Amino acid sequence: MGKTKDVRVAVEKELGFDPLVDSSHVSVSNIGGDVTLAGTVASYPQYLEAAAAVRRVAGVTGVHNHLQVVLPEGDYRDDPKLTTAANNALAQNVTVPDSVEATADDGNLTLAGTVAYGTQRAAAETAVTGLIGVRNVWNEIAIAYAADPVDVDLHVREALDRSALVPDGSDVSADTKDNVITLTGHVRSWAEHDAVVDAAWMAIGVADVRDNLQVTG
């Protein structure tokens, strides 16, 4: 019981310490390191940062972000204005190809189109995340690239070997089928977890990454 309380208290303190999150309307629950956030925040970047703050806490093995974004009245944008703002942001990002477009529905942005690399897909999401009026971002961008699964496996393994955050002797494995990478194995922290996932997305020809990694804490 003490360990459960310690993790919850530590998460609450980390949220309170983070200047990018107003946690006054956020509640935290913890079951054996599996942490759930509930309540409200005032922007989508706060929604994302709250989950990132939880992952920084020792002992956290899982994060479930059930926060809702309730925009202040002055931050509300109607759908046509938000759609225009989002597409302008995409057009101004040199990494995002012209094939990507955004549409807004009640503050929820949907990204659609086709790109060649996972990095382009991630860049599109980053480009619109901080726009005023965004309540959520749904990334439905497809990745279309013909690649040999053997080459993809090799690229991922080499990327993991180069990573400063992934230790030698790690049991992480990356299996490729139909350009989809499935990650399995154990990592010690969320920083190590994110490094493995990022390495997988960097490989040429990856259409999706399925994250079955276990964080041991």
Q: What is the pLDDT of residues 79-96, one digit of tens each?
A: 999 999 999 999 999 999
Give the end of a domain, one of 143, 158, 173. Answer: 143
Give the end of a domain, one of 54, 69, 84. Answer: 69
How far apart CA 133 and CA 98 sit, in angstroms, is: 23
65 and 6 fall within a common domain: yes
Q: What is the pLDDT of residues 20-57, one digit of tens each?
A: 999 999 999 999 999 999 999 999 999 999 999 999 99
pLDDT band at 1 (very low <50, low <70, confident <90, very high): very low
110 and 136 fall within a common domain: yes
How far apart CA 47 and CA 63 sit, in angstroms, is: 12
- 3-state SS class at 43: coil
Token pair listed for 24: 């006054």
Tally of structural domains, the chain? 3
44 and 12 fall within a common domain: yes
pLDDT > 90? residue 66: yes
Structural domain span for residue 210: 149-215
**What b/e readout covers 98-116, taking b as 16+ CB neighbours within 10 angstroms?**
eebbbebeebbbbbebebe
170 and 128 fall within a common domain: no
Q: What is the pLDDT of residues 104-145, one digit of tens each?
A: 999 999 999 999 888 899 999 999 999 999 999 999 998 876
Q: What is the CATH number of the domain that holds 6?
A: 3.30.1340.30
Contact assessment for residue 134 and residue 128, using Cβ atoms and an 8 Å cutoff: yes
Give the end of a domain, one of 39, 69, 99. Answer: 69
154 and 136 fall within a common domain: no
